[in-house]
Amino acid sequence: MRILVWLFLLTCFVSCDNHAFDADKRQILAKDELRSRFRSRPGFSITGFSEDTLTNWQDSTLKNPIRYTLDFSYQDSAGKLVTKKDVVVFSQEGSAILETRIIDRP
């Protein structure tokens, strides 16, 4: 009977959803989104990364979406190094990408 109790407790413990890696999962999703667009560019490299929570968002029904900013560089057709920034906005739960846009870095 003790073995059954231990197996039940172990099963409950292992089946719990661990949110410790949610930030890592979002970062991977953001990087994969960017790589899917620039994979074929020579010299493509992600050079920086930041995460913050937005207090104001264009859609008032969504509270505090999460914004990831990725700095990246690649070589254009003339061989010149181009640096840009990709902004990816996730829902508060981090399960859905709400917006992604690429902007020039100053």
For the segment 43-100, what is each residue's pLDDT rounded down to a tens digit? 888 899 899 888 877 776 777 888 999 999 989 888 899 999 999 988 877 778 888 8
Residue-wise pLDDT tens digits, 15-55: 666 666 777 888 888 888 888 887 778 888 889 989 988 88
pLDDT at 19: 63
pLDDT at 85: 93
Cα separation, 55 vs 64, in Å, equals 5
Beta bridge partners of 53: 66
Beta strands in the chain (DSSP E): 45-53, 66-75, 81-90, 97-104
106 pLDDT band, cuts 50/70/90, is: low
pLDDT at 72: 92
pLDDT at 83: 92
- The tokens for 25 are 């999962």
pLDDT at 77: 85
pLDDT at 14: 66
Please, what are the domains in the chain? 22-104 (3.10.450)
Question: Is the Cβ–Cβ distance between 51 and 23 less than 8 Å?
Answer: yes
| Cα angle 13, 17, 23; round to 5 | 135
